[in-house]
């Protein structure tokens, strides 16, 4: 059997990438004997139990030659098998917890939320409660007490954003919606636009950053950019300058891919780390003369926005049931809006003093 290297789009850490699903593709050798599709996949996907694979088949997450199949389908020579699989490791059960949720939109198929900064999306090591998904689980179980992670994995989460990034997330409420949205994310047809305040004066009015993103070879909790593509996964970020404040710049970032820490890593690679990003060096003065008054100003800005200045501002996708295009937009949260205004006033005073 000739197997293609699995194409993967998956988060490698809890406060990591947006896209949670990975795609495996297999091209069947001409000598392959007929074999049930679930048995074939059990031998090839790590952690692929029969129950999980049968569920994936029944919900349309397994395609053969571009079409959905039934559990009893037997693979044939030259079949092309595509499997969309949850790329996250097994985690603890999601315990429902009542908490306030900022729900932007909801219908019978999906919901769109505006996540605050500081909230982890999914339970994991060191974060077993208080996550967004704990709140989602409680909310959905009030509407349908029979819903579980078995009936709707991770209560419909198909992507996520960093703990200290704010902004829009979409969750599925049905298997069909989950399958459809996962495919839209993988196929890069979802529109995602971010606002980021970065250090330095970004010279070009717009540009595209193309550099693989992967784990740092020495420090496994960090990610790095690999422009030669010799490590990590392909990552593409388009950016446009919205406003310049001499020492910092407000940019719009549009993602083609959703890799772990992609914008944060790509902007650092460009030479412009995100303002107050304590993971990638933006939590110290990187531009401007360090005299007492300026240092105090920057420290005041850090206090106003005590996290990386990054917000998932817009989200657009096709409705999984109706085919209708949906588009959502949020205002900048108070901390980012406040620090932008502070820099704007600082720039105006500097210009008037010249």
Q: Which residues are catalytic?
A: 162
Rounded CA-CA distance 68/52 in Å is 16
Can you say how many angstroms the Cα of residue 36 is from the centroid of all Cα atoms in its chain?
Answer: 34
Print burial letters for 237-261: b (CB count within 10 Å at least 16), e (below 16): bebebeebbebbbbbbbbbebbbbb
Q: How many CA atoms, within 13 angstroms, populate the side-chain half-sphere of residue 120?
A: 15
Q: Which residues of 44-64 are buried (b: 16+ CB within 10 A; e: fewer)?
A: ebeebeeebbbbbbebbbbbb
Pairwise CA distance, residues 51 & 153, whole Å: 13
Nearest to 233 by CA among 67, 9, 43, 33: 9
Q: For the CA atoms of 82, 88, 90, 91, what is the dihedral angle to 10 degrees? A: -150
The C-alpha atoms of residue 113 and residue 94 are separated, in whole angstroms, by: 18
What single string gives the DSSP state of each residue in 33-78? PPEEHHHHHHTTSTT--HHHHHHHHHTT-EEETTEE--TT-EE-TT
Q: Which of 173, 116, 181 is nearest to 142 (CA)?
A: 173
């Amino acid at each position: 059997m000739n197997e293609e290297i699995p194409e993967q789009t998956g988060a490698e850490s809890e406060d990591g990438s947006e896209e949670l699903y990975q795609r495996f593709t297999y091209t069947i050798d001409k000598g392959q004997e007929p074999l049930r599709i679930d048995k074939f996949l059990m031998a090839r996907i790590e952690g692929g139990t029969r129950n999980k694979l049968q569920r994936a088949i029944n919900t349309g997450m397994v395609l053969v030659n571009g079409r959905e199949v039934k559990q009893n389908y037997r693979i044939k020579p030259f079949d092309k098998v595509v499997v969309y699989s949850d790329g996250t490791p097994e985690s603890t059960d999601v315990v429902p917890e009542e908490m306030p949720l900022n729900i932007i939109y909801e219908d019978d198929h999906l919901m769109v939320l505006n996540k605050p900064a500081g909230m982890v999306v999914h339970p994991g090591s060191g974060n077993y409660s208080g996550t967004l998904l704990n709140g989602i689980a409680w909310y959905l179980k009030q509407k349908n007490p029979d819903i579980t992670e078995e009936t709707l994995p991770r209560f419909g989460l198909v992507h996520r954003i960093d703990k200290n990034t704010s902004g829009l997330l979409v969750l599925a409420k049905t298997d069909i919606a989950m399958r459809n949205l996962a495919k839209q994310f993988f196929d890069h047809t979802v529109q995602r636009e971010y606002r980021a305040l970065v250090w330095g004066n970004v010279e070009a009015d717009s540009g595209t950053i193309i550099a693989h993103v992967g784990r740092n070879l020495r420090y496994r909790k960090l990610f790095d950019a690999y422009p030669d593509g010799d490590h990590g996964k392909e990552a593409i970020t388009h950016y446009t300058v919205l406003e310049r404040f001499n020492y910092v710049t407000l940019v719009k970032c549009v993602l083609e891919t959703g890799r772990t820490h992609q914008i944060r890593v790509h902007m650092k690679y460009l030479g412009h780390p995100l303002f107050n990003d304590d993971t990638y060096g933006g939590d110290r003065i990187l531009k401007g003369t360090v005299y007492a008054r300026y240092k105090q100003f920057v420290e005041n800005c850090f206090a106003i926005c005590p996290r990386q200045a990054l917000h998932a501002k817009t989200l657009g996708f096709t409705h999984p049931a109706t085919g209708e295009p949906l588009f959502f937009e949020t205002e900048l949260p108070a901390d980012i809006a406040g620090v932008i205004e502070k820099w704007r006033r600082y720039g105006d005073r500097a210009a008037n003093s010249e």
